[in-house]
Amino acid sequence: MTKFDTIYKNLVEDIMTNGVEELSERTGHKTRTVLGAHFSIDLEKDGFPLLTLRKIPIKMFVSEQIWFISGSRKVDDFLSDYTKIWDDFTNPNGVITVAYGYRWRKHFGRDQLALLINLLKNEPSTRQGVIVTWDPTSDGLTLEKKKNVPCPFAFTVNIVGGRLHLHNIVRSNDIMLGMPADVPGFALLQCILAQKLGVRPGIYSHSISNAHIYDTHYAGAQEIMKRTNDHKKIELVLPENSFDRAEQKDKALVEEIFNNLVTQHTPMEPITGMKVVV
């Protein structure tokens, strides 16, 4: 198996074996949960973290990250051509009020991504490359049920040893449906930022405060625990000027990244019947 397959399978097994089962008042579903899960993967040494133990919709996370980089918050603005996964989280105007890219680029009155790139260009050794998605004026700390609050709520970027490293910090991760898209999505962002800054991609780190599997996904988790393969590592080769093209919502960029990954990706059978718990 690839390095990421092994990490993923071990986490699923840990949750199903050692996780604490409790009822979520918000969703009405039981979950098995472990706290403080963490892993790191070297994108040069270990390859791109795209799960092969089951089929993953590649265009979903590729288009999602391009949409994030563009700073949009309307699903009809590019994203809906590739995935409907965000449709349940829109308001009547088709807006996702907590859209990650909008928060990175516009919500707080500053373009965090542009400032990050400028900072790292001029001071590569900085330890202040922090991007925040969570808005403490409105997110969390309330009994009011909201459709969505950010799960990956912050990430840090460091250039060390001529490589760009990204640490993704996640308050809550649905391990069966969320994590397999979050990890390659943010690793793609890491590679795009590295290319923009003229450095190599380095270590992707993923820290989860609450890693859980929903009761409706237990059967799928048991199936993952049985699976193994000998899939070779996947190497992402980015098209030139990916960051600038993403800002322009270039649909050809989705196809080019997809074609690079799909030709290397031979996943095992999909696991059907799993739905996002809202």
Per annotation, catalytic residue among 151, 181, 183, 271: 151
Backbone angles phi, psi at 205, to 5 degrees: -115, 145
3-state secondary structure at position 114: helix
- Single-letter code of the amino acid located at 50: L
The yes-or-no answer on residue 191 being catalytic is no
- Burial bucket for residue 247 (CB in 10 Å: 0-12, 13-18, 19+): middle
CA distances from 88 to 45, 92, 151, 174, 194 (A): 38, 11, 16, 16, 33
Counting DSSP H helices and E strands in the chain, the numbers are 8, 6
Rounded CA gap, 36 and 260, in Å? 33
- Cα–Cα distance, 33 to 50 (Å, whole number): 23
Q: Judge contact between 156 and 130, C-beta under 8 A.
A: yes
Looking at the annotation, which residues are catalytic?
151
